[in-house]
Amino acid sequence: MQIEKTHLAVFSPTGTTEQVLRAIAPYFPSLSHEIDLCDYQSREQMHRFGKNDLLIVGVPVYGGRVPIPARERLERFFGNGTPAILAAVYGNREYEDALLELKNLLETRGFRAVAAGAFLAEHSIVRSIAAGRPDAADLQKINAFAEQASNKIEGIDDISKEPELFVKGNFPYREFKGDPFDPHGFKSCTGCGICAAKCPTGAISKQAPWKIDKNRCISCMRCVKVCPNGARNLSPVKYASIRKMLESKCKGRKEPEFFF
């Protein structure tokens, strides 16, 4: 089939999911539209796609699931037999049901998943886990994935006749109620408001950015990463216990998995 336009949609609070998608995108024609699913201001925007569009979509894995705001924003996407390439990016624990959830979500919205991958990246909460990933070896695999997906799409005559894509995961999905880590500003916070402007859920007030709305915060760690003064983080006691717990669960190097 002929792709006329390629669209990228990514929810990437700390940038690694975006890194993976940007390595995939050059294998496809006419990248014409990028949708930042982290942008709180445009969270209610609807997006419509046609038969000759291609959607490349990526989300990080949170508790083995698609992050709730990403899911809510993707529920405003409308496909029309539109082919989609899916990426779930995780921090070397497990991806569990996230890729299946992403596939089911998009397929109920009129897309057809043609290729999917679970990719590795540094853990955004404890960045020493899978540090530096995606690395050179990952990028080689990502390129091979993109090339194979591109060849597959080229060879499709009628997408409605394609067999359903199998991806790993279970339904009903595992339960994930969120991680209540609530990163907040320390004394060195200058109140510049960068974190408030970048927060994907509007959980940080521009007037008092050192505070956090615990009901909206998804602990995505974006505020910690973007703070120019390193003035935002979890409380040291909380961080130490999360680190210990995650280090015991994220042992050994995991490798990307692909589905065609």
Ligand X SMILES: Cc1cc2nc3c(=O)[nH]c(=O)nc-3n(C[C@H](O)[C@H](O)[C@H](O)COP(=O)(O)O)c2cc1C
Report the interface residues with ligand X, using CB under 6 A. Answer: 12-17, 60-64, 89-94, 121-125, 179, 219-221
Token pair, residue 115, equals 């290729």
Helix 16-24 vs helix 136-154: angle between axes, to the nearest 10 degrees?
50
- CB nearer to ligand X: give 156 or 226: 226
- CB nearer to ligand X: give 91 or 256: 91
Token pair, residue 75, equals 């529920």
For the bound state, the minimum distance from the C-beta of residue 42 to ligand X, rounded and expressed in Å, comes to: 18
- CB nearer to ligand X: give 63 or 83: 63
For the bound state, the minimum distance from the C-beta of residue 90 to ligand X, rounded and expressed in Å, comes to: 4
Give the separation between CA 260 and CA 258, rounded to whole angstroms. 7
- CB nearer to ligand X: give 18 or 53: 18
114 φ, ψ (degrees, to nearest 5):
-110, -25
Who's near 244: CB < 8 A, 6+ residues apart? none
For the bound state, the minimum distance from the C-beta of residue 152 to ligand X, rounded and expressed in Å, comes to: 25
120 φ, ψ (degrees, to nearest 5):
-105, 145
For the bound state, the minimum distance from the C-beta of residue 222 to ligand X, rounded and expressed in Å, comes to: 7
For the bound state, the minimum distance from the C-beta of residue 151 to ligand X, rounded and expressed in Å, comes to: 27
Q: CA 67, 69, 70: angle at the middle one, nearest 5?
A: 65
For the bound state, the minimum distance from the C-beta of residue 61 to ligand X, rounded and expressed in Å, comes to: 4
Find, among 115, 5, 109, 9, the residue nearest to 52 by Cα: 5
**DSSP element (H, E) containing 257:** strand 257-259
- CB nearer to ligand X: give 103 or 112: 103
- CB nearer to ligand X: give 16 or 150: 16
Burial of 228 (0-12, 13-18, 19+ CB in 10 A): exposed
